[in-house]
Amino acid sequence: MVKIVGIGGSLRAESQSQLALNLAALRVRSLGAEVEVLDLRQMNLPFCNGEKEFPDFPDVAKMRKAVAEADGLILATPEYHGSVSGVLKNALDLMSFDQLSDKVTGLISVLGGQSNSNALNDLRVIMRWVHAWVIPEQIAIGQAWKAFDANGNLLDDKLSQRFDEFAKSLVESTQKLRKAA
């Protein structure tokens, strides 16, 4: 069984990024993977200042340990000003190659306006830089305010199907890379 860690890059109480992440985690879990979601809204993380240790912030060690022990990642971000959220970028900056290298990674972005790939492309560059393996399937949810119902369910069947394809690709790619290692 593969272990996947999900990290959502929004601090908003009613975060649609977190809804998307939780939905992806559910789909990945249904394929037999173990999934842990790290909710940055519940964690106390400092701004990255280039230090290696953060003894006053035990959540840094918790996050690093969870990611280091994972086979793969799901990263979900709102798109702010055409890029990845500062919250998610900071969380990634608090980690290093020790935690992020060789992780199979699936990417999700959530936008208030029209769907595009800016945040996804930026995350792809970041993850490539730390030697992670980003799957080709990715999800960009445009006009996210109308993508979910009041219970957090997707309203669009095609988008729901994309979540299934995303989950399948993430689990299968993670299994393949794990076997090859």
DSSP calls for 118-153: HHHHHHHHHHHHTT-EEEEEEEEETTGGGTB-TTS-
Are 105 and 135 spatial neighbours (Cβ–Cβ below 8 Å)?
Answer: yes
What CATH number does residue 43 fall under?
Answer: 3.40.50.360
The whole-number pLDDT of residue 152 equals 87
Residues spanned by the domain of 153: 3-180
The whole-number pLDDT of residue 145 equals 86
User: How confident is the model over 112-123, as a mean pLDDT?
Assistant: 88
pLDDT in tens, 6-24: 999 999 998 999 999 999 9
The whole-number pLDDT of residue 33 equals 98
Q: What is the pTM of this model?
A: 0.96
Q: Number of folded domains in the chain?
A: 1
Does residue 116 register a pLDDT over 90? no
Strands (DSSP E) found in 60-103: 72-80, 83-84
pLDDT in tens, 17-59: 999 999 999 999 999 999 999 999 999 999 999 999 999 999 9
